Structure 1
Amino acid sequence: MARRALGTCLAVAAIAASHPVLAQDIGSAPSLDELIPDSAVENPDEWAQQGADGAASEGEVAEPDTDSPISDIPGIPVAWPEDIEIPALEPLEPEGDIRFADLLEDAPRIAFDEADLEEISNTLVLGFPQKEPPFTQRGDFVDRFEALSTIEELDDGDENVAQLAARASEDEELLRTLLRVYGYYDGEVIRTIGTRDAGEDAAEQRPRVRFDVIPGPRYTYGAIDLGELAAAPDAEELRAAFGIQSGDYLQSDTIVDERFDLDRALGETGYAFAEIDEPELLIDHQRVEGDLTLPVRPNGKYVFGDVLSSDETFLSGRHLASIARFEPGDTYQRSLEFDLRRAITATGLVSTVAVEAREVAPPQGDEPGVVAMDVTLERAKLRTISGAIGYGSEEGIRVQAAWEHRNLFPPEGALRLRGILGTREQLAGVTFRKNNFGGRDKVLTVDAYASSIDTTAYDARTVALTGTYERTSTLLFQKPLAWGVGAEILATDERNRIVDGVARPRQTYFVGSVFGRATIDTSDSLLDPTRGFRVTGFLAPETSRTQGEQYYYLRNRVDAAYYQSVGERTVLAARLAFAGIQGADLIGIAPSRRLYAGGGGSVRGYGYQAIGPKNEFMEPIGGRSLVEASFEARIGTGFFDGAVSVVPFFDLGSVSTSTTPDFGEIKMGAGVGLRYATGFGPIRVDVGVPLNPEPEDSPVAVYVSLGQAF
């Protein structure tokens, strides 16, 4: 209603202003109250409706209201001057950078002439005009900014004004934040707009943003308050773990890192219940310093007590204590608590596990308290059935199956039944395995089997019993030294191939052996090493009885491998192996225990056991000495986010009937392979060709397996 009355008043006032009489005789003009009827003031809506109803209908001329004070308005004719000409408007030429005028409207359009420039991209430049004091963190500062910049993410040629306007504002705030991270709390960032040429045509100019960074003085740490840390028994050592001192240059990254180091030091020196609150930094601009407060509560020092299990009949506390890397009375270490949890998970017997320190006795004076390690676990499914079906050009069809109960004899006593049915191999076996027997990662294995194997080199029907006790290297804890000892007895009925031109009938061997092996490993991975070396030695004194003769001999082997990264994506790998059998003639050694070369883990390009001395029917007869060497380059391609590698390789090998290699015949193979990296190791596909084949050798061989060749 108020809006309508106001409109009526403005219309009447406009008419009055255009009336010549009113314009000449302002003093005699009626007032505004006289022009507006009382009915319009009392009820504007009704008065407006009356005006609409009384309007002239279409096609009629309304009679003037003679009672109105402005009913008789004379016309005012105005002649257009004929001598006035209005010139046509000339089109304006666009200025070169006018299209960027709305980019960062609040940014000053200045730049420092004497500034060191860092060109981040075609659309982004950083300037550093400050000379004193020098900006010593400039390198890290630029790297961080480049990694986080939103402008730098724009592809060349794809930028536009709208994108740059939004992203430049974000980048300016990022620069200010980074300055504060490095302790420059008085720093300034000045934005400047410019253009860059994208070609000879000026219309192809592209926008360019420049930030001039003026760090100013760098702040230092003032007072440092670490709460109750001084009350700890070994406060000095703990204070040394927090590597920030008053007067050091201030950097928030350092606070985070040193807080982590202090927390780790507390957890590794007995403080099982230590607490550290969030740090607080108070900046004083007058002193150019920041006072740091880090509330620390050590809450007493402790030693390990007993390990207690929530399921004693399944995995007892005594057994869990045997796989822990601590003894009762040892100073508490948080890392050993985590390690125990990982070791329990690695047994494969639990679905979930939690390990928690619980106070048993509080600290008394200088005497530490005691914590018990409470282990809460839930059983996993313990029975497994597995199987596989395959076909190979050399071994034909192969079907294998196994059933296993992983805790039939608690704790961690597994029973496994396995069988193989194939063209060249048949086997039935039973295995008892006791994990973590006598200590962490120590395994006792007893294996009994009966098998029949028919290869190109020999045909053996064997019954064997083997026992081993070993300290294994696992994916969870790769050890620098792994070892194993064992014993084996077997009876094998084998058909010798023709030896020295004489056809040999089937022959039975009774073999007894003790053996030991050790591995020194400095590599960085079991399945996919990129640096370091491995050396494995094997030694097995054996005795063999056949056809009333007793033979004694020594089987031995040494394998060494070296790995070296070259650049970011390439690993060079080399392997050398030597094996020998000393003390008995070839005829006194069962064919299945002689030395052979060839295959995916030996000399690629040749068939399994295809390298070595042969009889007149070109059948391998085995030897008493062996030498192998392999070289390959594992080159990353970047495909599938770097998961695929190309691996050219070269292998060679020689087998001799003498106890020392005579290198009478050296076989060489070469080829190329692919590796696809997975979460559990690389999948390997190698295609090799023999470089100096025999007539019976295939022209190409393909090998597929999990893990690298060596």
Structure 2
Amino acid sequence: MAAAALLGFSAAAHAQTLDDLIPDSAVENPDAWAEQGADQTVESSDVTAPDPDTPIAQPPGFDLPWPDDIAIEDFEPLEPEEDIEFADLDLGQANVSFEEAETERIADNLVLGFPQTEPPFSDRGDFVERFEALSTIEELEDSEANLAQLAARAREDEELLGDLLRVYGYYDGQVIRSIGNLQVGDEAAAQTPTVRFDILPGERYKIGAVDLGSLLSAPDGAELRDAFEIYPGDYLQSDTIVQEQFDLDRALGETGYPFAAIDAPELLIDHERVEGDLTLNVTPNGKYVFGGVVSSQPDFLSGKHLAKIARFEPGDTYQRSLSLDLRRAITATGLVSSVSVTPREVTPPTGVEPGVVAMDVELQQAKLRTIAGAIGYGSEEGIRIQASWEHRNLFPPEGSLRVRGIAGTQEQLAGVTFRKNNFGGRDRVLTLDAYANTIDSPAFDARTIALTGVFERKSTLLFQKNFSWSAGLELIATQERPPVVDGIQEPRQTYFVAALPGTVLFDETDDLLDPTRGFRLGGRLSPEASTTNGVESFYVRSQVDGSYYQSLGDRLVLAGRATFGSIPGADLLQIAPSRRFYAGGGGSVRGYGYRKIGPENDLGEPTGGRSLVELALEARIRTGFLDGAVSVVPFVDAGSVGPNPTPDFDEIKIGAGLGVRYHTGFGPIRLDVGVPLTPDEDDAPVAVYVSLGQAF
């Protein structure tokens, strides 16, 4: 209706002039006339309303030809121009062919393409390996790899590739991304959304000028410059700059420059030269030697004592590593909760003479009293519960007092121990121990009082040493007898023993508690004098222990152990039963009772011997259970104890079994189940052992 009215209005108005259509009132007051609306501009009598039911045969007022009457003349074709020259565009990239590009499939949904062949992509293998480790697409599971997720992660990976190109010195590199469904494998129906990145690294930039600030003004400037192994013409790589900055900082710290400063590196990239100028502002700030050690708590740990455990002397060239070593050594005492070691200038450098720095040690005391306990179990040894109380600095510096006790099926003990750590030098320990104990074992019963003293150089968890040793004195009074058999109890025999034991240990393993490679070789020699029933005897207890560890891959360690012992110089009956050799148990031949292997008397009691041979072999196999914290350990042990100083191998006991290890931060927890393969009538069919640490 609206369209018809409009057309009718147009047809009627066609014959009228503009003056006829605009009344005088519109000229006199145009605003008022406009507000009256279009219906007021023409009187209804001037317009014939069309009949809506009657179509308009010919629209009135239009005089335009229909398309059939329009004639368009033919265009004249243009003649091609000759001798047109097109400019060659240099985009800074070598000619490439995407169809012939080398590709590397990172995952089912991720492919890298390398269409550029010249210049070659240096360090491409390392580049791909690093991208694979950082890619967000590579982490996406195939089941989740829909196009929407791939597109989101593809943008992140594209940015990552660009960053990596710049890390390797490709500042004109380009990354072309494409996403689609590609066939995977031989099955045509196996389709998966896949992202492909085509990498055009361009030309690799090189180092231009190198500015190291005032480094060459230092007394050792030339040597220090050699520590920063970046020179003009080398390929530019951010990793190398960071590594060489670290090496230079370490060289400064190790050659007497405690206050040296190195600013962050700056690179000025010149695209025209295809080079980057490197600025690393270095300020050496003078060379120094060590002075004294100053403690913030001299009554607790004096500076004099701390100087004893330091690995430097006054006048030695300052080394940052020795400062850190002193901090670790103080931490290892267990007496501090926090410690810092800071160099402080005492005398400034003058000319060619170095300055002097004091080492200020700031300490905070830790809790010094400790209550500790341990529980062990063996099916043949029974239960063993051990507890102790200790004050670790009752006699400063580092003088501890420890009271301990043992309550077990076969052993009871009460003792007091005084220990002086770092006594006379680093990791040297003086220990005085007094104890009384009773032992009720299958081999003997003993009631013993002893006083011992040992001075040793120890290997610790923080400072595992290749060589350690000990020397000591033992004064022992003991009453011993064979165990009760069938209600028959023999009288006790009293022995007074004085011994001078000494040990040495060569340790080339990688871990003190859980070694995976290397070897250990140890020896013990103890000359002893014994008096019993008015008879004096002199003999030497000697023993050699060796173990070897070989790692085969990430999950398997083969471990072997051999022990040989001999006691020449006295008859067996002149040696106290507690000083003889025995075998059997969790730390010896598994599958047999504690100290139950060896010669026996007429009543079937183990008598101990004067020679010992033990062999052990086990495979420590890591599993994937509990994030790799669990290992299974099949093992085979063998042992022999003889009555003479020379092993005779008259009777060899063999045991085998399976163990489980649960690896913790402080060492493995061990559970072994052993079976005797050559048992006697009274040997149990199965033996179980639980303890902390590996069997050897």
| Alignment TM class, shorter chain as reference | 0.7 to 0.9
SS across alignment from 1:303: strand
SS across alignment from 2:500: strand
Q: Is the 8 A contact 1:497 1:615 kept in 2?
A: no
1:127 matched to 2:113: yes
Q: Is the 8 A contact 1:17 1:23 kept in 2?
A: no
Instruction: Please give the alpha-carbon distance, in whole angstroms, between the structure 1 residues aligned to 2:429 and 2:153.
Output: 60
TM-score by length of 2: 0.87
Shift of 1:570: 1.3
TM-score by length of 1: 0.86
**Structure 1 180/551 Cα, relative in aligned 2: closer, same or farther at 3 Å?**
same
Shift of 1:616: 3.1
Match of 1:172 in 2: 158
Instruction: Please give the alpha-carbon distance, in whole angstroms, between the structure 2 residues aligned to 1:389 and 1:200.
Output: 61
Match of 1:687 in 2: 673
* Count of matched residue pairs: 647
Instruction: Please give the alpha-carbon distance, in whole angstroms, between the structure 2 residues aligned to 1:183 and 1:649.
Output: 54
Match of 1:232 in 2: 218
Matches of residues 104-115 of structure 1 in structure 2 within 5 Å?
A: 112-115=98-101
Shift of 1:496: 3.4
Instruction: Please give the alpha-carbon distance, in whole angstroms, between the structure 2 residues aligned to 1:550 and 1:78.
Output: 147
Instruction: Please give the alpha-carbon distance, in whole angstroms, between the structure 2 residues aligned to 1:691 and 1:619.
Output: 20
Letter of the 2:315 partner, please give it. G
1:75 matched to 2:52: yes
Shift of 1:306: 0.8
Shift of 1:443: 0.2
Instruction: Please give the alpha-carbon distance, in whole angstroms, between the structure 1 residues aligned to 2:141 and 2:502.
Output: 61
Match of 1:289 in 2: 275
Shift of 1:71: 10
Letter of the 2:178 partner, please give it. T
Shift of 1:643: 1.4
**Structure 1 66/494 Cα, relative in aligned 2: closer, same or farther at 3 Å?**
farther
1:321 matched to 2:298: no
Matches of residues 96-495 of structure 1 in structure 2 within 5 Å?
A: 112-197=98-183, 205-387=191-373, 393-396=379-382, 398-495=384-481
Letter of the 2:9 partner, please give it. V
Shift of 1:16: 8.7
SS across alignment from 1:485: strand
The structure 1 residue matched to 2:639, chosen from 653, 660, 663, is: 653
Shift of 1:198: 5.7
Instruction: Please give the alpha-carbon distance, in whole angstroms, between the structure 2 residues aligned to 1:208 and 1:402.
Output: 64
**What does the per-residue CA deviation read over 1:319-347, in whole Å, with 9 as the maximum and x for residues that have no partner?**
01111111111111111111111111111
**What does the per-residue CA deviation read over 1:632-683, in whole Å, with 9 as the maximum and x for residues that have no partner?**
1111112222211111111111111111111111111111111122111111
Match of 1:92 in 2: none
Q: Is the 8 A contact 2:342 2:361 kept in 1?
A: yes
Match of 1:21 in 2: 9
**Structure 1 229/612 Cα, relative in aligned 2: closer, same or farther at 3 Å?**
same
Letter of the 1:665 partner, please give it. E
Shift of 1:154: 1.6
Instruction: Please give the alpha-carbon distance, in whole angstroms, between the structure 1 residues aligned to 2:481 and 2:176.
Output: 89
SS across alignment from 2:606: coil
Letter of the 1:178 partner, please give it. L
Q: Is the 8 A contact 2:378 2:688 kept in 1?
A: no
Q: Is the 8 A contact 2:377 2:690 kept in 1?
A: no
Q: Which moved more, 1:682-691 or 1:202-211?
A: 202-211
Instruction: Please give the alpha-carbon distance, in whole angstroms, between the structure 1 residues aligned to 2:22 and 2:319.
Output: 97
Match of 2:494 in 1: 508
**Structure 1 15/665 Cα, relative in aligned 2: closer, same or farther at 3 Å?**
same
Shift of 1:707: 1.4
Instruction: Please give the alpha-carbon distance, in whole angstroms, between the structure 2 residues aligned to 1:516 and 1:391.
Output: 30
Q: Which moved more, 1:226-235 or 1:17-26?
A: 17-26
SS across alignment from 2:156: helix
Q: Name stretches of at least 5 consecutive residues in structure 1 with no aligned partner.
A: 1-11, 48-64, 80-109
Match of 2:65 in 1: none
SS across alignment from 2:660: strand
Shift of 1:488: 0.6
Identity within the alignment, %: 67
Shift of 1:365: 0.6
**What does the per-residue CA deviation read over 1:81-109, in whole Å, with 9 as the maximum and x for residues that have no partner?**
xxxxxxxxxxxxxxxxxxxxxxxxxxxxx
Q: Is the 8 A contact 1:603 1:628 kept in 2?
A: yes
Q: Is the 8 A contact 2:547 2:559 kept in 1?
A: yes
Q: Quick one: higher RCO (CA 8 Å, sep 6+), 1 or 2?
A: 2
**What does the per-residue CA deviation read over 1:529-556, in whole Å, with 9 as the maximum and x for residues that have no partner?**
1111111111111111111111111111
Q: Is the 8 A contact 1:16 1:22 kept in 2?
A: no
Shift of 1:387: 4.1
**Structure 1 248/17 Cα, relative in aligned 2: closer, same or farther at 3 Å?**
farther
Q: Is the 8 A contact 1:684 1:705 kept in 2?
A: yes
Shift of 1:236: 1.2
Shift of 1:704: 1.5
Letter of the 2:267 partner, please give it. L
Match of 2:77 in 1: none
Match of 1:569 in 2: 555
Instruction: Please give the alpha-carbon distance, in whole angstroms, between the structure 1 residues aligned to 2:359 and 2:403.
Output: 36
SS across alignment from 1:151: helix
Instruction: Please give the alpha-carbon distance, in whole angstroms, between the structure 2 residues aligned to 1:158 and 1:68.
Output: 76
Match of 2:579 in 1: 593
Please, what is the CA RMSD of the aligned residues?
A: 3.0
**Structure 1 498/164 Cα, relative in aligned 2: closer, same or farther at 3 Å?**
closer
Q: Is the 8 A contact 2:293 2:361 kept in 1?
A: yes
1:706 matched to 2:692: yes
1:533 matched to 2:510: no
SS across alignment from 2:591: coil
Q: Is the 8 A contact 2:4 2:50 kept in 1?
A: no
Q: Is the 8 A contact 1:447 1:467 kept in 2?
A: yes
Q: Name stretches of at least 5 consecutive residues in structure 2 with no aligned partner.
A: 57-95
**What does the per-residue CA deviation read over 1:444-470, in whole Å, with 9 as the maximum and x for residues that have no partner?**
000011111110100011111100000
Instruction: Please give the alpha-carbon distance, in whole angstroms, between the structure 2 residues aligned to 1:559 and 1:404.
Output: 32
Q: Is the 8 A contact 2:8 2:48 kept in 1?
A: no
Q: Which moved more, 1:380-389 or 1:121-130?
A: 380-389
SS across alignment from 2:143: coil
Letter of the 1:707 partner, please give it. G
Shift of 1:509: 0.7
Shift of 1:426: 2.2
Instruction: Please give the alpha-carbon distance, in whole angstroms, between the structure 1 residues aligned to 2:268 and 2:8.
Output: 76
Q: Is the 8 A contact 1:669 1:690 kept in 2?
A: yes
Q: Which moved more, 1:610-619 or 1:24-33?
A: 24-33
**Structure 1 390/164 Cα, relative in aligned 2: closer, same or farther at 3 Å?**
closer
Shift of 1:308: 0.6
**Structure 1 308/68 Cα, relative in aligned 2: closer, same or farther at 3 Å?**
farther
Q: Is the 8 A contact 1:111 1:192 kept in 2?
A: no
Shift of 1:505: 3.2
Q: Is the 8 A contact 2:459 2:465 kept in 1?
A: yes
SS across alignment from 1:639: coil
Match of 2:66 in 1: none
**What does the per-residue CA deviation read over 1:393-412, in whole Å, with 9 as the maximum and x for residues that have no partner?**
44445554322211111111
Match of 2:651 in 1: 665
SS across alignment from 1:262: helix
Matches of residues 33-72 of structure 1 in structure 2 within 5 Å?
A: 72=49
Instruction: Please give the alpha-carbon distance, in whole angstroms, between the structure 2 residues aligned to 1:290 and 1:423.
Output: 76
